[in-house]
Structure formats: structure tokens, C-alpha cells
Amino acid sequence: MPQYLQRNNISNIITARPWKLANLIMSDSLTRLFEISGVTNYTTLAENVITVLAEKDGISKNDQQCKNIDFIEIIEAQSLGNLIKVPAVCVQLVHQFYVGRLVEGSRCSVYMNMLDMHIAKGLQKLQIENFDTEEMCVNEIKQIIGTESTEYLRDNRSLVHSASALAFKTLTDTNKESSLVFAENTITNHMTKTKLEYLLQTGIITKKKSFALSSRKNVPYMFLHKTIQEFLASLYIAMNQPDIENILNTIQSVYCDYRSILDIGQLFIFTCGMCAPAAERISKHITDVITCVLDF
């Protein structure tokens, strides 16, 4: 954030898992402790991000203020207020707005743009034209992501397919902890190490830094945000219609009681936008589980 950039004598820690820091042992040499809190005002976060982007482009303060107002108006008009309250997603939405890509109001289009921009960023970092080294003949991918505004997704279908397979398999892991944070061998069950490196370059998957002597051992990986993992998992459902029965059986076995069924909401919403028949089956399953709980 701009107000922090002027201070060179402090370290800023930004985390999506503050509870992990709460368990760390504090050093005896520390003289001050600070309470860690989440983002309390998402509009301030959005304004700060717009300021950083605008200052790089030499945009005046007055125009920055106009952009802030326009951004909030678009968020309200497209009913994206619940998404902006998630800090990681808020930053992504600001970037889409700033480059003129926040034009469609559906969640699926927002996340399509999000992934497309991440792939473009990875290609730019590596200075290559595309990630794919193999041909994919999956018509469902073309139908779902075949828009002009998502050309990088469309041109890297093999990478997207591997990422979606990983997202679905990890999200439906019965171990809740390993469904969000997973080891490298879990990833390489669904893609090559080359594809993993590509996804790390895009930022779609992140890797925790290790300070152990054996830095490659048990290094945890995770998706940029759980909603991106859920979106990719829904994309996997939509792309694999021939195997839909096995996919739905897996979902029903994992989300089978009143506790777990509460976690299926975002996956269900994304599936509604990409595969109506599968969403209808998931809806029926949700109803059955809730009815069973109420009857009990």
C-alpha cells in the first residue's frame, strides 16, 4: 500500500491465514508486538490499489478519485459486493476494472477474466507465446472459455485442464486440511512438473517458502484463493461430461452431512453458470441432505 512504501525500516506481512501466525513462538528479542487484523474497509483497500496503479501511469489525484467512484458504482450495479469483501478477490476486481475488463456481471466471467489475466502475466514474465505443448481436443473447453476476451485461457487449454483437474481432486479430498494446502506429489499426480512451474509463474498456484535445510521437502502449495480453486473445480465438472456420474458421486460422498454441505455453496454457484444439468443434480443433493437433517 502507498503509505507503507515510504517506510524502509519495517517488514510488511500480508497473509490470508492469520491464524497460522498466532501459533508462532515470539522471539525474546522483540520489543514490540502488533495485533494482526483483517481488512476492515474494502473500499479503502480498493482505493489504495487504484492509487498504486494510477501513480504508475501518472494519473492525477482528481482522476484517481473518479476511478474510485466508478469502481464502486460498477460493483454495486453488477451485484459483486459480496466478492469485493474478500481482500484477495477485491484486488483482482480492481485490476480488472482498471484495464477495462470488468464489463460483465456474472461471477463466471469475472473469474474467467481473472485466470486469463494471470496466464497473460505468466507468459509475459517468461517471455513466451503460450504454455501449451500438447494438443487438447475438448470441445467443452472451447464452448465455456471461447470468448474473445479470454484468448490466453483459450490458447492454453491443456494447462487450464490440468489446473481444473487438480482443483477438483483436492477440493473433494476427504481431509479438509489437505484439500486447501497440498504437497508437490499431489500436484504431479495430475500434471507434469513443467506445468506446475508454469502455474507458479502465473500466480494461480502459490508455494510457501521453506527455511528448512531440505528446502524441497514437504513444501506446501495452494491456489491463490479458495474461490479460484472452486471455480476451476466447476470448470472441471463442465469439461468432463462423459464422466459426470463418477464426478457427482464423488461430490455426494464428500459433501454428505449438515457440516460439509455448507462448504459446497460456491462450487454450486459456479456450476450453475457453466453446467446447468450438473448444477441441478447438485441442487437436489443439497436439498436431500438438508431434508434429512431436518427430519432427524
Tell me what pLDDT residue 157 has. Answer: 87
Tell me what pLDDT residue 168 has. Answer: 97
**What stretches in the chain show pLDDT beneath 50?**
1-6, 213
User: Which of 65, 81, 105 represents a domain boundary (last residue)?
Assistant: 105
Same domain for 114 and 99: no
What are phi and psi for residue 219, nearest 5 degrees?
Answer: -75, 125
Model confidence over 276-295: pLDDT tens digits?
999 999 999 999 999 987 87
3-state helix, strand, coil in the chain (%, to 5): 65, 0, 35
Same domain for 160 and 282: yes
Tell me what pLDDT residue 243 has. Answer: 93
Same domain for 204 and 186: yes
Same domain for 114 and 4: no
User: Which of 90, 105, 120 represents a domain boundary (last residue)?
Assistant: 105
Question: Beta partners for 221?
Answer: 182, 207
Burial 198-237 (b: 16+ CB within 10 A, else e): bbebbbbbeeeeeeeeeeeeeeebbbbbbbbbbbbbbbbb
Same domain for 185 and 62: no
Distance of CA 79 to the CA centre of its chain: 19
Same domain for 126 and 82: no
* Number of structural domains the chain divides into: 2
User: Which of 48, 80, 105 represents a domain boundary (last residue)?
Assistant: 105
Same domain for 145 and 78: no
Same domain for 87 and 5: yes
Same domain for 259 and 136: yes
Same domain for 56 and 34: yes
> How many CA atoms are closer than 13 Å to the CA of 80, on its beta-carbon side?
28
Same domain for 148 and 58: no
Give the range of the structural domain holding residue 158, as residue numbers without chain letter: 107-295
Tell me what pLDDT residue 2 has. Answer: 42
Tell me what pLDDT residue 82 has. Answer: 86
Same domain for 114 and 194: yes
Question: Beta partners for 182?
Answer: 221
Is the CB of residue 251 less than 8 Å from the CB of residue 169?
no
